[in-house]
Structure 1
Amino acid sequence: MKSGLTVAYWAVLVAALLPIFCAGLAKWGMFKVSPKAGGYDNNNPRAWLARQTDWRARANAAQANTFEALPFFFAAVIIAHQAGAYQMRLDVMAFLWVFLRVLYVLMYVADQATARSLVWLLALALNVAILFA
């Protein structure tokens, strides 16, 4: 029996950290600004994020969407492993899913709505493929 994490399981770890990246991106550059001057308010972070506009609001929305995508991805990878999927194929698909989700976040923040939606759809289709791998 092999020990250690597969590439697909490493992809699960990276995917789990992606929403934290999005939250950090939304807060970027606002930690040193006083909350009274509009800077990040750690006493009420959700209300602060809800008041953001433009790319900060989109980064926060990307965070929420990324959290929403995680359970299906996690389940698909675990089920594929349990079902004995061909490991190389599973690893490649999981890595590609993470790549697409990073691209999705970048397109969300850059306000590229149509391209972002296409990438979202590709990642969803890939997630289904992982499930049936």
Structure 2
Amino acid sequence: MPFAYWSILIAAVLPLIIIGYAKAGSRDNSAPRDSAENLSGAKRRAYAAHQNAFESFPFYAVSVIAALNFGASATTVSVLAALYLAFRIAHALLYIADKSSLRSTAYAGGLFANIAIFLSPALKINFF
């Protein structure tokens, strides 16, 4: 199975890792969504990064599956998927570190990698 398919699982788990950091040390799990209101600083930004990771996931998952099903090179999609994941991890880390300009650059890189995945079968993108 190409790495591109595995990357969907990694992208799905990424928001859970981020929220793990945001809620580390929190003891009240009776109303987990309400407790986000009490977060501040880096943990509040981690919560926002968690939400953003979930928001970007559907387009990513659909892009990978569609590209591979419509004949894109599995190697090309896998390389672009690795690039997407690197940008998304950088995005989360930069969000938590409050580096807004670099965070936006990482977001754009992930978006462009995702668009390249989606368009790869139509444009016959084959880097490898």
Give yes or no for the alignment of 1:20 onto 2:20: no
Q: Among 51, 58, 64, which residue is 2:38 paired with?
A: 51
Structure 1 segments unaligned to the other structure (5+ residues): 31-38
Counterpart residue identity of residue 9, structure 1: Y
Work out the number of aligned pairs and report it: 120
TM-score, normalization: structure 1? 0.87
Instruction: Please name the residue that 2:94 is paired with.
Output: 107
Write the distance in 2 (CA, Å) between the matches of 1:126 and 1:50.
33
Are the aligned partners of 1:19 and 1:63 in contact in 2 as well (CA < 8 Å)?
A: yes
Residue 65 of structure 1 and its aligned partner are, at CA, apart by 0.2
- Cα RMSD, aligned residues only: 0.8
- The alignment-based identity, stated in percent, is 36
The equivalent residue for 2:6 is 10
The offset of 1:15, in angstroms, is 0.3
Separation in 2 of the partners of 1:50 and 1:26? Answer: 12
Deviant stretches of 4+, over 6 Å: none
- Measure the CA separation in 2 of the matches of 1:66 and 1:40: 24
Shift of 1:7: 0.3
Partner residue, 1:41: 28
Contact 1:56–1:109 under 8 Å retained in 2: yes
Are the equivalent residues in 2 in contact too, given 1:40–1:48 (CA < 8 A)?
no
CA-to-aligned-CA distance 1:17-71 (integer Å, 9 cap, x gap)? 001001101012x1xxxxxxxx431001111112111000000000000000000
TM-score normalised by L of structure 2: 0.91
Q: Please state which structure has a larger fraction of its residues in helix.
A: 2
